[in-house]
Amino acid sequence: MEIIHTPREMTAWANRTRAAAETIALVPTMGAFHDGHLALMRAAAQRADRLVVSLFVNPIQFGASEDLDRYPRNLKRDAELAAAQGTDILFAPAAEAMYPRGFATKVGVAGLTDTLCGASRPGHFDGVTTVVAKLFNLVKPQVAVFGEKDFQQLAVIRRMVADLAWDIDVVGHPIVREADGLAMSSRNVYLAPEERQAALGLSRALAHARQRVAAGETDTERLLAGVRQALLARPGVTIDYLSVVHGQSLVAQERIDADSVLLVAALVGTTRLIDNTPLP
């Protein structure tokens, strides 16, 4: 595996690979790899000749009071893990390389970013779409794989790719969970032992919601009331949002149907976690 640090080198490699008629798959990440990231890499490697994993803690998607400075970083460990999954290129640029002095361009997706995490984290998705657009231009992938845990992010990226007519297959990979059901996240390392137990409330509340729907529940308000009660029964859990939406448009639904997805964001102590589940 080769580690590339500059956009110029990344573009040169991508141009050579394309000229050799080899296909490229990209997995964009912020590092601090866990088994969820590794599953994305393995899935991406099966879809193209060459695999690029980007590792970039993107400063413009963090709010002023968020965890940019303390976000977990370990390039040596991440490089070893990426190499073990068959990664060809680890693209690990510095912030000043991605956003040089005078950088003034922003890529935004209207509508899909107005609610859920977009409402709670103003400017977050503009930072996400800007960096992903730049990664697409540098790496030139035919396939890009994203985790479905960041459900709104996946919908936003798909909308951007469709609107800008990029010839890129955006693939969603199912949520990878710990043995006890907690969705894997780099931020899980922030959780104290008692918070880790409280965090299990998210996945267990979603499982309860699935059972309710399987038993015939179709009223969103009744379903959310039960989920809310289950979450708030956990000590130290504060709900950011809890919503049933259409899986593509992200429009909130009053009735549950075949396209419904339940999304939750909550603070466990001071750690913000997200999770989701299809309901049918």
Name every residue whose Cβ is closer than 8 Å to that of residue 192 and which is 6 or more positions away in sequence.
Answer: 269
Contact 245, 117 (CB under 8 A): no
- The DSSP code for 40 is H
As a whole number of angstroms, the distance between CA 71 and CA 258 comes to 37
**CA–centroid distance for 204 within its chain:** 21
Tokens of 94: 């510095």
Q: How far apart are the first and last CA of the chain?
A: 42
* 37 carries an active-site annotation: yes
The DSSP secondary structure of 123-158, one letter per residue, reads THHHHHHHHHHHHHHHH--SEEEEETTSHHHHHHHH
Burial class from Cβ neighbours inside 10 Å (0-12, 13-18, 19+) for residue 258 reads exposed
**Which residues are 262's β-sheet partners?**
244, 277
- Catalytic residue of the set 37, 124, 173, 246: 37
In DSSP terms, 219 is beta-bridged to 255
* Catalytic residue set: 37
